[in-house]
């Protein structure tokens, strides 16, 4: 036995580390099945995504296809809105913000989709269409009604009515105490989504349409001793529905004597009876479309039992394969799941170590009301779906390949009996071709994928999947050392992370972020949306679309620095599409050249303002996305990309702002208006964030034009304007001002910290450029505080890294990676909790940890600029830096020990580490090794 082996064995025994524990640095694993969606493990190939629950008796696989959305190709722009622009600006310059917002709401917002006739439908529901008798009456027979938990602030979709919009009746009773006799009462239900008609003992006591609180006065004359009935007819038009109650679940809904409080009354937090009256409300008008779930695959295993041993479910990030293993009646069972990009299928492979041990039924279903399953053969079924009120249709197919045993289709289920081995292939596609064309065949993706599988073994398909995936994943490696928590399951490790020393878990989080981006943004697909590619709700939070005032951009923060540059392609293609629709929006709203994007977009590339004028009129979405184009050039030094793709889009974005910027009558500066500081402070003149982004866009265009030796007059025009754009300003509290005026509220803890864009992801404010302004930005962040939603925590990690305070950044890493118990943090599967789930926090957090290790935004590569004391040891390979460099580095006891730099394009390399700085010429393809003293 070698001395090296003995030393390693001693080290492992000291720290309680085994090969099994070390596996945890690229594996998520659990010792029980997923109970809810945010426990399940995600797989994806960029186009198809699935969530694996891994139950033993019932295995649920919820799946998505990236192009299944609501809506239709249409014009989102309100024609002629530009004629109101000068009046809106005039009102804002006069300090009449409310009047400006009111005018903008009437005349400057985008167009909603068409809506149905609500009045007719409401009248039908009020007259009892679709239900027998009158459920408001006390003697109504509701014995056969089902029950549901009330309230549900996130909507009845979360407590059992997942695919319901429409009219639903609720009934419950309460017993009146003797000392309430003769007293008027108050019924407090707070929020109901969207409209209610509420009855006490058959009498209508309240009707509200909208989000106002429901506190209904009940005359004592309506109340009788003993049992009384409450009946509520809820009309829900879209999004979440039902009796919502209070967001703070500690506060109950209830009924109580007037003059007292709900806490002193009778709680109505319990199960109520319910009956669906109608599921076809008129279509609700929407500004933009929503991403949709496709379907569900359920595997029902036989014989049913609870005698399970050695259960484990896992996700190996290094192979993108999820696995479930367990022992039942002495038989070891294994299931493997992955989403193959080469073969465009979701694969589920089931084996056992005993012949004839696999028996189960496989069933497809969907939340979409308009869906159906049909038989295509003795081993294949299909699921067809039609999005309600939209133009998109989808078709999915499930095929079973069985070794020994039998397979047949019964009752639209694939039934497999006593097989040795089973492979399931799940496919899906839609009729979406592009944002203007929906003429595709929804079955084509499935037929092509299944045809291509002919003659291929599971082993070959798995091998090809791993090879394709690893060409992305294996470009980067990270090791932050070992820890005693590595032997714990991921949920246990998450629970302990904030109070223990487990830097390896932060390394795992980086790789998980990379895994999620690879799985949701392959070349040729749509970009990762607000939830990546994973969604189980017909009305997902914020439509699970693309929010462009930070969230879409944050999704791609890891792409360059964490060596996933190719995964930008879907984003860049999206920018091209947005530049086309954005050209029309620029003309209609601002009578300007170029293109503009406001704070949200969707599958159909909407670019007009949406929602409300106090936050929806924000003009710099396109300019921020243009920063990603420039950053890709900065990292890659790809001149061809700059010339043919990036610069033309950047230039046209800059042309918009050439026309849009106006002179502030008080200061003479060029300012952005109307706009806002997302999503804080309403419609204003001169938000700081806009000026940082526009100034950066102009400077990037100037630099690009100089590199390409083009557009001299355009360069000169931008150079003049850059000098006159309103500068960053330090306010009365030593803070970086968020607005043109010095009006910051230091007690404001808003999740957006928009005016710090120039610190990160921009470089408008740097230590080398203006240390005083950098300190003012830091003061602003201190005032804002650490607590935040998930994605905001991720942004703040990057800020503190740029402020070179690694320990503060690490504090926020621990806040981001704590169990999400109705607040920010991480769910069991490490999905980021806003809450609810938003994937941007995963991506922003991964990028933020990288920013602690290397920064390159000031014209040189800064090594370990914000290394936290909790990561004293580490090795990273494959980290990218601007200038076209790839880095491998190691450190020990907080000190750099080695640095290897590969030059991709042969640019001059400038390195800074602590107080040392060097620069040297490089040759393309050559590597340069340095020690901890940069020698």
Phi and psi at 186, nearest 5°, equal -125, 130
Each residue's pLDDT tens digit, 804-848: 999 999 999 999 999 998 899 999 999 999 999 999 999 999 999
> pLDDT grade, residue 539 (50/70/90)?
confident
Q: What is the Cα–Cα distance from 179 to 693, expressed in whole angstroms?
A: 65
pLDDT exceeds 50 at position 7 = no
Instruction: For residue 149, list its beta bridge partners.
Output: 271
| Structure token pair of residue 447 | 């037929």
Instruction: Write down the domain spans for the chain.
Output: 31-65+298-474, 77-110+564-727, 118-278
Q: Does the pLDDT at position 853 exceed 50?
A: yes
- Mean pLDDT, to the nearest integer, of 182-207? 97
Are 452 and 464 spatial neighbours (Cβ–Cβ below 8 Å)?
A: no
DSSP 8-state assignment for residue 440: -
What confidence category does residue 23 fall into, taking pLDDT thresholds of 50, 70 and 90?
low
What was the pLDDT predicted at 1? Answer: 36
Residue 322 is predicted with a pLDDT of 98
* Distance separating alpha carbons of residues 589 and 602, to the nearest angstrom: 19
In tens, the pLDDT along 353-382 reads 999 999 999 999 999 999 999 999 999 999
- pTM for this structure? 0.92
Could you give the dihedral angle defined by the CA atoms of residues 129, 133, 139 and 143, in that order, rounded to the nearest 10 degrees?
A: -80
- Percentage of the chain lying above the pLDDT 90 cut: 93
Pairing between β-strand 909-913 and β-strand 861-863 as defined by DSSP bridges: parallel
pLDDT of residue 3: 40
Residue 701: both structure tokens together: 């265009």
Using only C-alpha atoms, what is the Rg of the chain? 29
CATH topology assigned to domain 77-110+564-727: Glycosyltransferase (1.50.10)
Q: Which two tokens stand for residue 541?
A: 């939070």
pLDDT tens, position by position, 236-287: 998 889 999 998 888 999 999 999 999 999 999 999 999 999 999 999 899 9
- Residue 930's pLDDT is 96
Q: How far apart are CA 759 and CA 766, in angstroms?
A: 6
Identify the bridge partners of residue 899 per DSSP, sorted by sequence position: 889, 930
- Quick check: 257 and 510 in contact, CB under 8 A? no
* Average pLDDT over every residue of 26-30: 96
Predicted confidence (pLDDT) at residue 429 exceeds the cutoff of 90: yes
Q: What is the mean pLDDT of residues 134-154?
A: 96
Number of Cβ within a 10 Å radius of residue 275: 18
DSSP summary character for residue 31:
S
In this prediction, residue 854 has a pLDDT band, given cuts at 50, 70 and 90, of: very high
Can you tell me whether residue 12 is helix, strand or coil? Answer: helix
Between β-strands 321-328 and 308-316, what pairing exists: parallel, antiparallel or unpaired? antiparallel
Please state, as a whole number, how many other Cβ atoms lie within 10 Å of the Cβ of residue 153.
17
Q: What is the average pLDDT across 695-724? A: 98
Structure tokens at 30: 């659990």
Q: Tell me the backbone φ, ψ of residue 898, rounded to 5 degrees.
A: -155, 150
Contact 70, 56 (CB under 8 A): no
Q: How far apart are CA 779 and CA 753, in angstroms?
A: 12
What is residue 532's DSSP assignment? B
Q: Which fold has domain 118-278?
A: Jelly Rolls (2.60.120)
Average pLDDT for residues 148-172, to the nearest whole number? 92
pLDDT value at position 22?
53
pLDDT attached to residue 157: 86
Split at pLDDT 50, 70, 90, the class of 24 is low
Residue 14, pLDDT > 80, answer no
Average pLDDT of the segment spanning 524-548 = 96
Average pLDDT score, the chain: 95
The pLDDT of residue 32 is above 60: yes
CA dihedral 232, 233, 238, 244 (to 10 degrees): 0
Tens digit of each residue's pLDDT (9 = 90 or more) over 726-771: 999 999 999 999 999 999 999 999 999 999 999 999 999 999 999 9
pLDDT in the model for residue 154: 86
Two tokens, residue 175: 């017993």
Q: What is the pLDDT of residue 239?
A: 84
Distance, CA of 715 to CA of 720 (rounded, Å): 9
Give tens-digit pLDDT for 296-325. Answer: 999 999 987 778 999 999 999 999 999 999
Say how far apart CA 401 and CA 601 lie, in whole Å. Answer: 41
**Is residue 11's pLDDT more than 50?**
no
Identify the pLDDT of residue 249.
86
Query: Contact 400/423 with Cβ under 8 angstroms?
Result: yes
Q: Which percentage of the chain shows pLDDT scores above 70? A: 97
DSSP state of 464: H
- Which residue carries 């919820």 as its tokens? 62
User: What DSSP string runs through 831-857?
Assistant: -EESSSB-THHHHHHHHHHHHHHEE-T
CATH code that applies to domain 31-65+298-474: 2.70.98.50
The helix-helix angle for 503-520 and 840-853 (nearest 10°) equals: 130
Token pair recorded at residue 868? 């936290």
């Amino acid at each position: 036995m070698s001395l090296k082996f003995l030393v390693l064995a001693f080290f492992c025994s000291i720290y309680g580390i085994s090969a099994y524990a070390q596996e945890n640095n690229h594996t998520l694993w659990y010792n029980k099945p997923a109970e809810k969606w945010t426990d399940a493990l995600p797989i994806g190939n960029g186009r198809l995504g699935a969530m694996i629950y891994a139950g033993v008796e019932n295995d649920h696989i919820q799946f998505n296809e990236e192009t299944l959305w609501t809506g239709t190709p249409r014009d989102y722009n309100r024609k002629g809105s530009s004629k109101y622009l000068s009046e809106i600006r005039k009102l804002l310059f006069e300090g009449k913000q409310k009047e400006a917002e009111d005018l903008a709401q009437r005349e400057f917002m985008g167009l909603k989709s068409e809506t149905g006739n609500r009045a007719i439908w409401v009248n039908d529901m009020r007259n009892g269409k679709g239900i027998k008798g009158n459920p408001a009456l006390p003697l109504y027979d509701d014995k056969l009604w089902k029950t549901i938990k009330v309230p549900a602030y996130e909507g009845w979709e979360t407590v059992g009515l997942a695919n319901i919009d429409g009219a639903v009746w609720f009934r419950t009773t309460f017993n009146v105490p003797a000392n309430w006799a003769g007293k008027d009462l108050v019924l407090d239900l707070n929020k109901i989504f969207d409209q209610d008609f509420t009855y006490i003992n058959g009498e209508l006591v309240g009707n509200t349409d909208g989000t106002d609180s429901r506190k209904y006065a009940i005359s004592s004359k309506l109340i009788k001793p003993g049992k009384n009935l409450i009946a509520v007819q809820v009309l829900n038009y879209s999004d979440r529905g039902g009796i919502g109650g209070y967001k703070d679940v500690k506060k109950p809904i209830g009924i109580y004597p007037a003059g007292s409080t709900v806490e002193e009354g009778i709680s109505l937090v319990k199960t109520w009876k319910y009956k669906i009256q109608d599921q076809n409300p008129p279509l609700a008008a929407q500004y933009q479309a929503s991403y949709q779930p496709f379907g569900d695959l359920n595997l029902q295993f036989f014989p049913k039992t609870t005698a399970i041993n050695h259960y484990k479910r896992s996700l190996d990030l290094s192979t993108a394969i999820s696995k479930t293993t367990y022992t039942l009646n002495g038989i070891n069972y294994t299931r493997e799941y992955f989403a193959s990009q080469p073969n465009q299928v979701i694969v589920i492979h089931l084996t056992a170590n005993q012949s004839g041990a696999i028996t189960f039924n496989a069933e497809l279903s969907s939340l979409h009301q308009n869906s159906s399953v049909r038989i295509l053969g003795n081993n294949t079924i299909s699921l067809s779906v039609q999005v309600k009120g939209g133009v998109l249709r989808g078709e999915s197919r499930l095929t079973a390949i069985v070794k020994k045993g039998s397979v047949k289709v019964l009752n639209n289920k694939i039934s497999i009996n006593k097989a040795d081995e089973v492979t399931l292939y799940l496919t899906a596609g839609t009729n979406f071709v592009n944002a203007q064309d929906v003429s595709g065949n929804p079955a084509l993706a499935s037929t092509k994928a299944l045809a291509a599988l002919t003659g291929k073994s599971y082993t070959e398909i798995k091998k090809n999947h791993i090879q394709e995936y690893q060409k992305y994943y294996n470009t980067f490696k990270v090791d932050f050392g070992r820890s005693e928590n590595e032997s714990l399951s991921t949920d246990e490790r998450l629970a302990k992370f904030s109070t223990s020393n487990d830097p390896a878990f932060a390394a795992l989080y980086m790789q998980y972020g990379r895994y999620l981006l690879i799985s949701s943004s392959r070349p040729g697909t749509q970009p990762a949306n607000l939830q990546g590619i994973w969604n189980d709700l017909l009305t997902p939070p914020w439509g699970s679309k693309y929010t462009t005032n930070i969230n879409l951009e944050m999704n791609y923060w890891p792409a360059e620095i964490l060596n996933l540059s190719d995964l930008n392609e879907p984003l860049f293609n999206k920018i091209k599409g947005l530049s086309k629709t954005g050209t029309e929006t620029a003309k209609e709203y601002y009578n300007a050249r170029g293109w503009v994007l406001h704070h949200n977009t969707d599958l159909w590339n909407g670019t007009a303002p949406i929602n409300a004028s106090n936050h929806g009129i924000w003009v710099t979405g396109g300019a921020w996305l243009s920063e990603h184009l420039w950053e890709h050039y900065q990292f890659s030094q790809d001149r061809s990309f700059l010339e043919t793709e990036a610069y033309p889009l950047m230039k046209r974005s800059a042309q918009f702002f050439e026309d849009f910027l106006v002179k502030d009558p008080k200061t003479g500066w060029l300012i952005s208006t109307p706009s806002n500081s997302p999503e804080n402070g309403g419609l204003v003149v001169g938000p700081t964030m806009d000026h940082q982004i526009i100034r950066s866009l102009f400077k990037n265009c100037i630099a690009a034009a100089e590199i390409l030796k083009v557009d001299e007059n355009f360069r000169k025009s931008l150079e003049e304007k850059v000098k006159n754009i309103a500068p960053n300003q330090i306010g009365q509290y030593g803070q970086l001002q968020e607005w043109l005026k010095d009006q910051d509220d230091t007690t404001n803890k808003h999740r957006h910290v928009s005016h710090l864009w120039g610190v990160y992801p921009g470089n408008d404010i740097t230590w080398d450029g203006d240390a005083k302004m950098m300190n003012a930005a830091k003061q602003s962040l201190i005032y804002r505080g650490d607590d935040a939603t998930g994605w905001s925590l991720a942004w703040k990690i990057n800020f503190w890294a740029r402020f070179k305070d690694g320990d503060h950044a690490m504090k926020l890493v621990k806040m981001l990676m704590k169990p999400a118990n109705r607040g920010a943090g991480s769910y069991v599967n490490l999905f980021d909790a806003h809450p609810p789930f938003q994937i941007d926090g995963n991506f922003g957090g991964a990028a933020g940890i990288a920013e602690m290790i290397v920064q390159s935004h000031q014209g040189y590569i800064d090594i370990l600029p914000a290394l936290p004391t909790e990561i004293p040891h580490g090795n990273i390979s494959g980290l990218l830096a601007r200038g076209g460099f790839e880095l491998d580095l190691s450190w020990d006891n907080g000190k750099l020990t080695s640095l290897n730099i590969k030059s991709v394009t042969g640019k001059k390399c400038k390195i800074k580490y602590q107080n040392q700085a060097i620069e040297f010429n490089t040759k393309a393809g050559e590597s340069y090794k340095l020690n901890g003293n940069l020698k």
